Amino acid sequence: KAEEPKKSKGESVEVKSSLPGNIYQVLVEAGASVKEGDTLIIIEAMKMETKIAAPSSGTIEEVVVKKGDVVQTDDTLLYIQKG
């Protein structure tokens, strides 16, 4: 069975962690529509929660992390298909 080519109407945006910490909550999943500024993921670091917001509107293409994962600054969290 041949694989269907990925639809790429817009460009893909990589959302990265702004700090090291633990993934406390993942609020979106692949296929979800998001608006710029929506909270996507919450990272817990030193007893403080930091919200990671969508840098642009679009559709969640892939979520790379899950609850409990440890991330470092600039680790990729997810991809958004702009549009």
CB 22 within 8 Å of CB 48? no
In tens digits, what is the pLDDT along the chain, a chain of 83 residues? Answer: 555 444 445 699 999 999 999 999 999 999 999 999 999 999 999 999 999 999 999 999 999 999 999 999 999 999 999 98
Dist. CA 69–CA 83, nearest whole Å:
29
**DSSP assignment string, 5-53:** PPP-SS-EEEEE-SS-EEEEEE---TT-EE-TT-EEEEEEETTEEEEEE
What tokens does 68 get?
């409990």
Domains and CATH numbers, the chain: 18-82 (2.40.50.100)
